[in-house]
């Protein structure tokens, strides 16, 4: 239906089938980068824009479930949001969820984007940004494009380094979540922090 509204006077079912064949699912299709959408025969600027609008709307709807609610009491909405934002990313992305005194979301910021299996993160910059936002706590989040959310030695090490930097400025590190393809690992839950 999205394609039908964006591409006038054309049967869009074959195009929808080609997109699903290429990307594997509707969710992966709307999350695909624009240049990859445009590489599919029959998708033009209007079709790609329509699909990206749907993805942006999904992210906003998922984020709306988090607004003005304590995140620690709302893990289902939080993991739904993180799955929408990160699960289909093809490179690692390290995000920080900055929280206020009631553990409500102040900001969700991508600190860095990396490669398929690494992204650089600087503890000092995380602590500095927490102070700029007057955050009292935060949750670290990053994805594993492989789909396997198992924590690596480097994941554990950077979490400990960020935790030390935050302790120095009286900011609480609640957790570090790793997002796979719809699967999550909590470093706190695993006893790693």
Residues facing 139 on adjacent strands? 97, 175
Asked whether residue 177 is assigned to any structural domain, the reply reads yes
pTM of the model: 0.78
Residue 77 counted as domain residue: no
Please check whether residue 35 lies inside any domain of the structure.
yes
Question: What pLDDT shows up at residue 192?
Answer: 82
SS (H, E, C) 126-190: HHHHHHHCCCCEEEEEEECCCCCCCCCHHHHHHHHHHHHHHHHCCCEEEEEEEECCCCEEECCCC
Residue 74 covered by a domain: no
Quote the mean pLDDT of the chain.
Answer: 87
Cα–Cα distance for residue pair 109/65, rounded to 1 Å: 17
In a domain, 67, yes or no: no
Judgement on whether residues 127 and 172 belong to the same structural domain of the protein: yes
Both tokens of residue 103?
A: 């553990």
In terms of domains, do 98 and 52 share one? no
Structure tokens at 115: 């490669």
Domain encompassing residue 156: 90-186
What does the pLDDT look like over 1-54, one tens digit per residue?
777 777 767 788 888 888 989 988 888 888 888 988 999 988 888 888 989 898
Q: What is the pLDDT of residues 143-190, one digit of tens each?
A: 998 888 989 999 999 999 999 999 999 999 999 999 988 788 999 988
Domain total of the chain? 2
Residue 116 has pLDDT above 70, yes or no: no
Q: Are residues 108 and 170 in the same domain?
A: yes
- Longest CA–CA span in the chain (Å) reads 62
The span from the CA of 134 to the CA of 130, in Å, is: 6
Residues 52 and 113 in one domain: no
Identify whether 191 is part of a domain: no
Question: Quick one: which of 95, 109, 115 has its CA closest to 176?
Answer: 95
Q: Report the C-alpha dihedral over residues 91, 74, 187, 95, rounded to 10 degrees.
A: 30
pLDDT, one tens digit per residue, over 60-86 is 888 777 777 777 788 888 888 888 888
Q: Which residues, 6 or more positions from 29, have their beta carbon under 8 angstroms from its beta carbon?
A: 19, 20, 22, 23, 37, 51
Q: How far is CA 80 from the centre of its chain?
A: 10
CATH of the domain at 169: 3.40.140.10
Q: Decide if 148 is inside a domain.
A: yes
Does residue 9 share a domain with residue 51? Answer: yes
Q: Tell me: do 51 and 94 sit in the same domain.
A: no
Q: Tell me whether residue 153 is in a domain.
A: yes
Q: Which of 19, 42, 61 is the last residue of a domain?
A: 61
């Amino acid at each position: 239906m999205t394609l039908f509204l964006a591409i006038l006077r054309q049967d869009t079912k074959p195009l929808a089938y080609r997109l699903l064949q290429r990307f594997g699912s509707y969710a992966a299709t709307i999350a695909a980068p624009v240049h990859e959408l445009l590489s599919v025969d029959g998708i033009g600027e209007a079709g790609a824009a329509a699909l990206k609008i749907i993805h942006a709307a999904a992210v906003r709807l998922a984020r709306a479930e988090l607004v003005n609610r304590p995140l620690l009491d709302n893990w289902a909405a939080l993991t739904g949001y993180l799955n929408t934002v990160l699960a289909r990313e093809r490179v690692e992305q390290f995000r920080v969820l900055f929280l206020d005194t009631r553990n409500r979301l102040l900001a969700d910021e991508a600190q860095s984007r990396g490669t398929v299996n690494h992204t650089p993160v600087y503890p000092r910059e995380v602590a500095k940004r927490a102070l700029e936002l007057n955050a009292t706590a935060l949750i670290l989040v990053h994805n594993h494009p492989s789909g396997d959310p198992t924590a690596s030695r480097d994941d554990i090490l950077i979490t400990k380094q960020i935790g030390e930097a935050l302790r120095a400025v009286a900011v609480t590190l609640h957790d570090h979540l790793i997002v796979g393809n719809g699967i999550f690992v909590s470093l706190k839950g695993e006893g790693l922090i």
